[in-house]
Structure 1
Amino acid sequence: MNRTTSPDKVWLASLVLACCCILPVGVADAAKDTPRFEIRSAYAELEDAVYFLHARINYPLSKQALEALQSGVEL
C-alpha cells in the first residue's frame, strides 16, 4: 500500500500547525494590555439565614478613569 500525502494536505497541515504556534503569542500579548481585577481576599458569613460575601478586590483603573473619579464622577 502506497502512503503518499498530497501537497494540499501537507500545506494545510503546515498552516494549521503555524496558526497553533502563533495564536498563543498573540493572546499572551493581548492579556498583558488588559487590566484585570485581583481578589485579594474573600470570605462568606451566614447571618440570619443570609450569606454575606466580604471581599477585598483590587481594580486597576486607567489614568482617565482615575482622573474622572478624582473630579467627582460617581461609579
Structure 2
Amino acid sequence: MNKILKEVIEHAETWPVEDQEELAEYAREIEARRTGVYSMSDDERAAVRRGLAEADRGEFVPDEIVTEADKRHDG
C-alpha cells in the first residue's frame, strides 16, 4: 500500500461512521470501474430485498406518479 493511501486509511479510522461508509462507497465504485463488478453494501442489499418483496406483493408506484416524475426529468 502506498504512503498516501495508508495515511488516508489511518485518518479515516477516526472519522464518523457515515464518513467511513462514504469512503467505502467510493472505493467500491472505483473497484467496480476497474473490474466491471460492483459489490453492493449491506444497506444496498437490504434495499434491493425490500424492493423485490414489495414487487412480489404487487406494491408498485402508481402510473400517475411515474408519469409526473418522467416529465420532471425530461426537462
TM-score by length of 2: 0.32
Higher strand proportion (structure 1 or 2)? 1
Q: Between Structure 1 and Structure 2, whose CA radius of gyration is higher?
A: 1
Asked which structure has the greater RCO (Cα within 8 Å, sep 6+), the reply is: 1
Higher helix proportion (structure 1 or 2)? 2
